[in-house]
Amino acid sequence: MKIMLVFPPKGFTSKEMLPPLGLAYVAAVLEKNKYQVEIVDALVENYSWNKLKKKFTEEKPDVVGITALTENRFEVFKTAEIAKNSLPNSTIVLGGPHVFHTAQDTLEHIRPVDVIVRGEGEYTMLELCNKLKNNEPLDDVNGISFRKNGEIIHNKPRELIRNLDELPFPAYHLLKFEKYNFKLDVPGKGKLRAASIVTSRGCPFHCVFCETSLVFGKRWRARSPDNIIKEIEFLQDTYNIKALWFNDDTFTLSKKRIIDFCNLLIEKNIEIYFTCSIRVDTVDKELLKLMKDAGCYKIFYGVESGSQKILDDVVGKRITIKQIRQVSKWLDELGIIKNPSYVISFPEETYEDAMKTLQLMKEIGGEPSFSFLKIYPGTDVEHIARQKGILPKDFSWSLKSSMKEIETIPIVHGNAPIFRDKLSWEEISEIAVQWARMRKYPLAKKIPSILKNLKSREDLERYLSIFKAYVKSFLKRDKTVGG
């Protein structure tokens, strides 16, 4: 049986690409069980739709697995359609975060899709392929949704993988690794060839906007330090990787694990520079210093809002502004680059709340990340958006016609809906422009990409609002400078 795992073309415009680790993990488990597997990253290989169709017809896989994100879901659906038209007797499978809470909606509206894998895909996909190979019913494959006699069936969820160390490393050899040009800019070292690693899954917290605990569970599971070190050594030896992005939601959830991991890096004299994500309530200065000594040069941490009221009553973050300031101070003292992350346009957030976020952003400094609140399936934000009419009652995640009634910013967030409640677009634009000026973000240079990605008159109006705020900001600055 031939299996092709696909990351769809189009959908994203980033110039620096990372390997699709989810597909690579699924491929590794399938290969370990003697299946013939191919990964097609149609995005990094810059496939046209015609080239993708040709790939399907030439290779003739028995199973096509496609990973789906909310941002690129329509490219996913088109990929599924091309696959089914090219391979009518093959099984088309969707997996990934987007379909976890949209299985019913997707199977109702996207006819080319035969099966949906919900949640962690490694062992679900393996069992599914075993059943398909032996022409057996799918009724007892936990973690899938599918059609049977015209009815949509949702099998019970699959248990989460308890021991992540039992998984093989991602099947890097099935990727055209030389095409991934991801680099990290390390002070004093320049831009280094980099990769990403996932060392844990799940999250015990439940932030209003986040889908991690929904897809990967509230029970946090982690790889051992020894297991992580082996993958780092493999990446260094095989692909000359000099820097890493630990792509965990919270790398520091277990203090002991990070202490053991950092000590191992130091003891083994492994020279690797890394960046990671933390929560401000999971670190102290001593731990941060050890991380710095082991090679950590930058840390991403979710501030979300400068309003304690929003953090407490809306986000459910369970951190304080005082903790944020303290950790920021420690990072400055240790010489670790700060990468605080901010979000605006939360439910019930006022202009006054948003200005508190902007003020805190300016106070903390560093290299702040900034985004508008996005709506993801199954999250509390989605439920609130439906209650408030931000998403219409008949909104479908699978129909393009539903996109006419929601707000998006395609150049930034793809096809993910934007949650906008109390703030006007003029107010949102003002804050976005001030962030861009802080980061010296070249908004003017983005105009060609913006025009290329326009999908509606409403998109144009939103971009014009941002552009007006941009011009107004510079006129105000010039007037101030001129006296």
pLDDT at position 450: 59
* pLDDT the model gives residue 451: 59
- CB-count exposure of residue 109 (10 Å: 0-12, 13-18, 19+): middle
- Name the burial class of residue 360, with classes exposed (0-12), middle (13-18) and buried (19+) by CB atoms within 10 angstroms of its CB: buried
Tell me the pLDDT tens digit for each residue of 393-450. 899 999 998 888 888 877 667 789 999 999 998 888 888 888 888 877 666 666 566 5
With the C-alpha atoms ordered 422, 428, 431, 432, is the resulting torsion angle positive or negative? positive
173-482 sits in which CATH class?
alpha beta
Q: Which stretches in the chain have pLDDT values below 70?
A: 13, 411-412, 441-483
Measured CA distances, 195 to 19, 251, 302, 425 (Å): 8, 16, 22, 37
Q: Residue 118: its pLDDT value, please?
A: 97
Model pLDDT, residue 483? 38
Which residue ranges make up each domain of the chain?
2-154, 173-482
2-154 and 173-482 have identical folds: no
Alpha carbon distance 318, 42 (integer Å): 40
What is residue 101's predicted lDDT score, i.e. its pLDDT? 94
pLDDT at 200: 96
What homologous superfamily is domain 2-154 in, according to CATH?
Cobalamin-binding domain (3.40.50.280)
Task: Give the predicted TM-score (pTM) of the model.
Answer: 0.92
Parallel, antiparallel or unpaired: strands 2-7 and 36-41: parallel
